[in-house]
A and B are shown apart, each in its own frame.
Chain A
Amino acid sequence: DADVTQTPRNRITKTGKRIMLECSQTKGHDRMYWYRQDPGLGLRLIYYSFDVKDINKGEISDGYSVSRQAQAKFSLSLESAIPNQTALYFCATSDSGQAGYGYTFGSGTRLTVV
């Protein structure tokens, strides 16, 4: 099983619908992140959480919300999806206790808003 699992892998939804993307991890990491990938724009941070009670906005949080249900689970919601939220979404984790700062990424969720 993957260390960081994202569901669904692909999703097509209609404008105005609410949608939730889920992320779970078995790494035991305390820090979790949601990034969005668009062609030519790289990976941009939406939200991040350093522990269960900590939620922080990233550079592009407008139109998104998150919930850290447990140390291992971090979900991203689009309350009212719009077409320009069509993108590839990645969840990532890291461990504050390790000397390294490397992230472990999930395989991504490809979201299309029509």
Chain B
Amino acid sequence: GENVEQHPSTLSVQEGDSAVIKCTYSDSASNYFPWYKQELGKGPQLIIDIRSNVGEKKDQRIAVTLNKTAKHFSLHITETQPEDSAVYFCAASIGGFQKLVFGTGTRLLVSP
């Protein structure tokens, strides 16, 4: 079945630096790739997503890139702030269905 690998598992940066989280997927039929942010004591929240017909998408300080040939996608956060500290999950759709397979998560810590 579909497998999604996510790296790194933890990431520490200084406020103002950029952060990059990378994911690879195995199912070439995957066509939807969302990213979720999970704050302490809360459920994951969708922050950005990308479809297979698009190579890059940006929303203010966050951006996602997709390389379908290599089967990997990345989350980029610029000008990080302490409130960006959270666990981030990538996910990939299974075939054409609305099921998502999640990566193992990245704990991002932004130090002031």
Measured CB to CB, the residues of A under 8 A from B are 4, 31, 33, 35, 40-45, 48, 50, 58-59, 90, 92, 94, 96, 100-108
Contact = CB atoms under 8 A, between A and B. Distances in A.
Given A42-B104, A42-B105, A105 B99 contact: no
Interface stretch (B39-47, B54-62, B65-73, B78-86): B39-47
Q: Which of B6, B45, B102: most chain A CB closer than 10 A?
A: B102
Nearest to A33: B99
B9 interface: yes
**Overall SS of chain A's interface:** strand
A45 B6 contact: no
Interface of B: 1, 6, 9, 32, 34, 36, 41-46, 49, 89, 93, 98-105
Contacts of A107: 41-43
A40 B1 contact: no
Nearest to A105: B43
The 7 closest A-B pairs by CB, nearest first: A105-B43, A42-B104, A43-B102, A102-B46, A42-B102, A101-B32, A105-B44
Contact of B44 (A43, A44, A96, A101): A43
B43 A43 contact: no
Contacts of A100: 49
Contact of B104 (A31, A40, A45, A48): A40
A75 to B, nearest CB: 17
Contacts of A4: 43
